[in-house]
Amino acid sequence: MALIKFTTNDPTQADIIADVDTPLVLTAVAVDRFTMAITHPTLSTLEVQWQVNLASIAETTLVANQVLNAAIEAGIADPYAIPDVSEMQTEGGYLMPNTLYPLINYTLA
């Protein structure tokens, strides 16, 4: 389990700190969202959505795993810090900038 803060760019939706299950398991992966398991007394999943579609489900799975695993590792490295995930990020190529996909919504179930 690892605490991760999710910040959206929707001013009506508050930031949330979720206890993400590890190892990370993504389900219901689409080009603009995914669902993951969380530890909570009454809830079991967190769905995260961003603004612009990634190229494919495979790319979504890869990028989500990279971003979330980096946050999990940062949280383990510093137990007093709660990493903040506010965007999905694909790496740019040679002399190309990274592409950022800001989070716009989350749904707890």
* pLDDT at residue number 107: 92
Residue 87 tokens, joined = 């965007």
Which residue, among 108, 109, 104, has the nearest Cα to 49 in the 3D structure?
A: 104
Q: What is the pLDDT along the chain (109 residues), one digit of tens a residue?
A: 789 999 998 889 999 999 999 899 999 999 999 999 999 888 999 999 998 899 999 999 999 999 999 999 998 899 899 999 998 888 877 888 888 889 999 999 9
Domain hosting residue 57, numbered range? 2-89+97-108
For the chain, what is the domain count?
A: 1
Q: Does this model's pTM top 0.85?
A: yes
- How far is residue 26's CA from residue 78's CA, in Å, rounded to a whole number? 24
